[in-house]
């Protein structure tokens, strides 16, 4: 099993005819994902690599039965793209776009509360269930099917962690980049709940970073509700206060959000922690490989 996406996923790509959208659509198709439609306003009726393009999400859903949307729409229009997919009844939206204004994301969050729609991202690498489906920009070849879930705020660190897991013969059930912006759709806790319910996920790796309170909330949830082993890493141990480190959400402010505080909270929650990324693979093998 996997969570969010699987071999039956019918993927729609918003912004498929653009440079990034067309390239990554081809990569998803090559991986084996069923990409059934693209959406670019004004280009309906065209085809890209045999995939039909529609003017609206609703017309694409009506014609193809698409049930997941992958968004490569430019930042000024991406919030509207998310809401268009949710309004069309798509239950899962994955937004790759970086740089969406916070004000726009506040509108998205409010809108999604009225819809049965799960948002992953924005500013994320997407979701992959190895050997089944890829909906994002991650390099598929480093992944291996298995029983370890991965949830990460950092796309690049996701790739490094997955590489170490695969190198240590630890396959993954589903790997999810939740995004590094201050306001995102799904949280660590949201996804931990799904992994807890998945019988084929036997453990989870959590990759955090400075800023916000995601890791602390995850620690509380693991302590009280999560029975499977969890391995954690927090990037930014040496980051100075007030400096943004890569992601818009990765900033220490108000005297909180430091890596040290997060590591301490996660340990108190029963999460096994590594402070040096190079140790993660062999630590995971000892924790999950028994």
Residue 247 falls in the annotated catalytic set: yes
H or E segment and range at residue 231: strand 230-235
> Is residue 36 within 8 Å of 42, Cβ to Cβ?
no
In the Cβ-directed half-sphere of 57, how many Cα atoms lie within 13 Å?
A: 24
Catalytic residue among 163, 167, 202, 247: 247
d(CA 266, CA 222): 9
Q: How many CB atoms within 10 Å of residue 45?
A: 8
The residue assigned the tokens 């059930």 is 173
Angle of CA points 65, 71, 72, to nearest 5°: 135
Task: Return the closest-CA partner of residue 135 out of 120, 157, 117.
Answer: 120
End-to-end C-alpha distance for the chain, whole angstroms: 21
Residues with catalytic annotation? Answer: 247
């Amino acid at each position: 099993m996997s969570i969010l996406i699987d071999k039956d996923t019918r993927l729609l790509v918003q912004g498929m005819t653009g440079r990034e959208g067309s390239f990554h659509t081809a990569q998803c198709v090559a991986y084996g994902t069923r990409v059934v439609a693209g959406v670019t306003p004004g280009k309906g009726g065209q085809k890209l690599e045999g995939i039909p393009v529609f003017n609206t999400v609703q017309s694409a859903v009506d014609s193809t039965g698409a049930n997941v949307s992958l968004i490569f729409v430019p930042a000024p229009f991406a919030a509207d793209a998310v809401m268009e997919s949710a309004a069309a009844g798509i239950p899962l939206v994955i937004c790759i776009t970086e740089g969406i204004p916070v004000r726009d994301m506040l509108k998205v969050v409010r809108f999604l509360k009225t819809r049965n729609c799960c948002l992953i991202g924005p500013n994320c690498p997407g979701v992959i269930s190895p050997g089944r489906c890829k909906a994002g920009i991650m390099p598929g070849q480093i992944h291996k099917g298995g029983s370890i879930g991965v949830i990460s705020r950092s796309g690049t660190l996701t790739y490094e962690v997955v590489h170490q897991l695969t190198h240590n013969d630890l396959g993954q059930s589903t790997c999810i980049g939740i995004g590094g912006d201050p306001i995102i759709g799904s949280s660590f806790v949201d996804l931990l709940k799904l992994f807890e319910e998945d019988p084929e996920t036997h453990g989870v790796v959590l990759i955090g970073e400075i800023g916000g309170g995601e890791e602390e909330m995850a620690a509380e949830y693991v302590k009280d509700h999560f029975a499977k082993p969890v391995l954690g890493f927090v990037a930014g141990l040496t980051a100075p206060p007030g400096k943004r480190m890569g992601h818009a959400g990765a900033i220490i402010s108000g005297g909180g959000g430091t890596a040290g505080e997060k590591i301490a909270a996660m340990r108190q929650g029963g999460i096994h922690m590594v402070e040096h990324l190079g140790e993660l693979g062999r630590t995971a093998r000892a924790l999950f490989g028994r």
